[in-house]
Structure 1
Amino acid sequence: MSVSQLIPWNRNRGNSPQPLARDARDPFVSLHREMNRLFDELWRQADELLPRGENAGMPAAGWPSVDLVERDREIVVSAELPGLQEKDVEVLVENGQLVLRGERRGERDDPARRIGERWYGRFERRIPLDVEVEVDAARAEFRDGVLSVSLPKSGSALARPVRIPIERAA
């Protein structure tokens, strides 16, 4: 017995449901084709954007990992940069953002290497600063693979909020 004989409407050929007309002008067919095209394009682009080769091991976003602590008088940002040295990293404040960028240089390519999972290449991380900072007084320190950046708040950012009493309308 074939599987087609198990389907109820195939027992009597006269009772089989008729497929709906699939016309190119049918809006659902058109929508279906457009959705397929969009998903095909999305996956094709995603495939091109995924890191390969040297950059395959690098997390796509959010690297390096950072902690941001806002104190009364300063903002302190700490970033994990294992395997890097001070000379490999650049720190700057630009357009209200703290920018951490640098490059992790690879070692010589060893033809005997069978597995290569370590990441090498350039990186950049932008951290928005919600308050104005005194850029000239900023300090950065690099110790044991951790970069710490201290950004003193500017005078306007230090101003305390003032409560304004609400009066009852007459």
Structure 2
Amino acid sequence: MFELAPWKPFPELSSLRREMDRLWEEFMGRSEALPALEATWAPALDVSETKDALVVKAEIPGMDPKDIKIHLAGDTLTIRGEKKQETEEKGENFHRVERRYGAFARTLRLPVEVKQDKVDAQYKKGVLKIVLPKKEAGKVKEIEVKEA
């Protein structure tokens, strides 16, 4: 009689994975501690373009708008800030701290020229939205082709 066994097409991959996990845990400690290894953080950004403007959205929850600074120099936009840690309560023992605190800076090069004097920034529900109107040279003009 034949005995059925589960088919594992790449047994060496699962073995390699277990070995890599073991080495990582030996080197860095338990994997639960890994999120705490990053000393700095940076907000996630979305950059989109409309016909008239560039729109940058940054996810920065829990911040006071007065702690956010935006600088525009030529074609470079920089967003800086500091997310302050909440004061600790007496007698409160933390089991896990994963929220990020501290200073951050995100810099990005803009793909088109913008009207620096018309930039608008708003902060609502943890999202910073920066609207950068394009200069005329940056706008694409569609030219109609006429039949001759």
**Structure with higher RCO (Cα < 8 A, 6+ apart):** 2
- Give yes or no for the alignment of 1:69 onto 2:48: yes
The AA in structure 2 aligned to 1:113 is N
Q: Structure 1 121/59 Cα, relative in aligned 2: closer, same or farther at 3 Å?
A: closer
The AA in structure 1 aligned to 2:71 is L
Write out per-residue CA displacement over residues 5-57 of structure 1, whole angstroms, 9 at most, x where no aligned residue.
xxxxxxxxxxxxxxxxxxxxxxxxxxxxxxxxxxxxxxxxxx9xxxx9xx745
Q: Secondary structure at the match of 1:136?
A: helix
Give the deviation of 1:77 after TM superposition.
0.7
1:113 to 82, 86, 93: 93
5+ residue gaps, structure 1: 1-46, 163-170
Match of 1:9 in 2: none
8 Å Cα contact 2:78/2:107 also seen in 1: yes
Q: Equivalents in 1 of 2:134, 2:67: separation in Å? A: 27
Match of 1:152 in 2: 133
Give the deviation of 1:143 after TM superposition.
0.5
Q: Within 5 Å, which residues of 2 pair with 1:74-89? A: 74-89=53-68
Give the deviation of 1:89 after TM superposition.
0.7
- Give yes or no for the alignment of 1:128 onto 2:125: no
The AA in structure 1 aligned to 2:122 is E
Give the deviation of 1:92 after TM superposition.
1.6
Higher strand content, 1 or 2:
2
Q: TM-score, normalised by structure 1?
A: 0.56
For the pair shown, the structure with the greater C-alpha radius of gyration is 1
Q: Secondary structure at the match of 1:87?
A: helix
The AA in structure 2 aligned to 1:87 is K
Higher helix content, 1 or 2:
1
Q: Secondary structure at the match of 2:114?
A: coil
Q: TM-score, normalised by structure 2?
A: 0.63
> Which range is displaced more, 71-80 or 86-95?
86-95
Write out per-residue CA displacement over residues 127-163 of structure 1, whole angstroms, 9 at most, x where no aligned residue.
210111001000001110011000000121125377x
8 Å Cα contact 1:74/1:151 also seen in 2: yes
Work out the number of aligned pairs and report it.
109
Q: Equivalents in 2 of 1:58, 1:118: separation in Å? A: 11
